[in-house]
Structure 1
Amino acid sequence: MKNLVPYPVNETGLMIGKDVSLTSSHRHYSHLMMIYPYHLMTPVNVSNQALIEKSLNHWLSLKGALQGYTFTGAASINAMMGKGDRAYDLLNQLFDHYIQPNTLYQESGPVIETPLSAATSIQELLIQSWGNKIRIFPAIPEIWSNVSFDQLRTEGGFLISASRVNGKTQFIKVYSTKGDTCRVETDMKVSLVNSDKRKELAFSVVQNDGKMNISFSTLPGETIFLSEGNDQHQFKVLPVRANIKENWSWGLKTKP
C-alpha cells in the first residue's frame, strides 16, 4: 500500500488518471470507483467530503452523454454521504426520463444493469454495510416518514430487518447466519439488546455525530433485537401503505 500513488486530483476534483482530466460528458462514474462501490475514499474521513462532492458535481455538470446509469451511481454516492433527499431526486429523474413503462431500460439496446443498479441504489437508502459497519436507515428521504424492510443481507452474513414510523426508528432485528461480531449504526437511542438464545448479551455503545454505534457478538442462527425498550414480541415488519397520487398507474398504456 505504501507504494501506491495518491489519487490524481485537480481543481475539478478527482481525475481519470495522471495528467488526464475529465473534460467531456460520460455516462459512467469509472473515475470515481474509489468512492463507490469500493468505499476506499469515504466521507467518514471529513477531509474527503469536499473532494467527493466536487468530483460528483463536476461529473454531473458535463451534459450530453449522461444516461440512466449516471443517475443510479450518483444516487448511491449521495446515499453513502447520507443525502437521502438528493438521492431520491436522482432516482426520480431516472424513473421519469429513462425507465420504460414495463420497468426495463434501454439505450441502443436493452441494458439490464441499469435497473439492477437502481434497485441497489434504493436499498442503499435503507441499509448500507461497508467500513466494517452496518448502517440502518442511513439516507432516508424526508418524504419517507414510514418505512420498513425485512431480512436484507449485509456483509458478515447478517439478515437485517427494521421499521421506522413517523420518522423514528422503532426496532432493528439482526439474524446471524454464521456467527460473528456485529456492528450497527443507528439514530435510535438503543437501550436494550436482547438475544433469542442467550439470557444476557454484552454490548458496547459509542455515540458519534448523533448516531449510536452498537457492537455485540452473535452465534450462528441467533436473532438479536435492538430497541429503545420495546417488547421484542412487537418486532413485526409490516407493509407500509404507499403514498401515491390518485389514479397513479405503472406499466399500463392508459391510466385507469
Structure 2
Amino acid sequence: MAFQEYRMGEFPGQSEWVGFKQFIALFTDKNLPLVLRNTLAISGLKLTIGFVCPIVFAVFLNEMHRDGIKKVIQTISYLPHFISWTVCATLLFDFLKADGGAVNELLMALHLIQEPIDFFGRGDLFWGLALVSDTWKELGWNSIIFISAMAGVDAEMYEAADIDGATRAQKMWHITIKAIKPTIVLLFIMNVGGILNQNFDQIMMLTKQLGNPMLKDTANVIDTYIFQVGISQNRASFGTAAGLVKSLINFVLLIMANTIADKAGENALF
C-alpha cells in the first residue's frame, strides 16, 4: 500500500502503483522535522528518566522489610496502570487547571508562584507533562519485572556483605543493581527499538484529541501525524509509508543497541 495510490474501497494490490511517491512526499513534508523533534524529545525523556524511575522504585521497595507496608505501596502503585488515559487526562485537567486546580492552589499557598499556571495552555510544559503523567501511570507496573529479578538474589550475599561491613548503599549498588543488570540491559534494548513509538492514547487525550491549538507545535508526534494525515485526510498510502519508515528506523536502532550491548559483553537479545 505504501507504494500505491490506495483509495478506500479498492481491493488491496489493485490500486495504481506510484513507486516512491509517498516516501518523497513524506520526506519533503515541512511538518516532518517538527514531528520528529517532538517524538525524539518525548521518547528521549521516557527512555532516560522514565526508564530509571521504575528501577529506583523497585530497589527501594526491595529495601523495605515491613511486608505489610510494602504490599500496600505496591498495590497503590499498580492501580494507575489499569485506568484509561481518558480518565487520567480528565483527572489531570482538574488538578492542573488554572482556575481552582489543586496544584495551582497548593503552589500559591506555599508562595512558590504568584499567579496560576496554565499547564495545558503552554506548549513548553507539554513534554514534562507527558513524562510525569506516563511515569506516574506506569511506575508500579514497569517495576514488576525488576522486583521479580530481585527476588532471585541469594540472601546469603547480603549476609556476607553485612559481615564485611558493607553499608546499605553499597549492598544496593554492588548486589541488588548488579543482580538485575542483565534485565535492565534487555529492557533498555527493547525500549530503544521502540523509541519512535509514542503512547498514542496519552497524546490524544492530553491534547483533547489534538484540538488544543496551544499544544500543536510540541505535542504532534509521529503516531498522531500518521493519524492526522492517513486517517483524517484519507491518505492511507501516505500514512502507511510513514508507518513503514518508522518501523524500519526502530528496527535499525534495535539492531544497533543489541550489537553495542553484545560488544560490551552484556546480555543481548540475540
Normalised TM-score (structure 2): 0.25
Q: Which has the higher helix share?
A: 2
Q: Which has the higher strand share?
A: 1
The one of the two structures with greater contact order (alpha-carbon pairs below 8 A, sep at least 6) is 2
Normalised TM-score (structure 1): 0.26
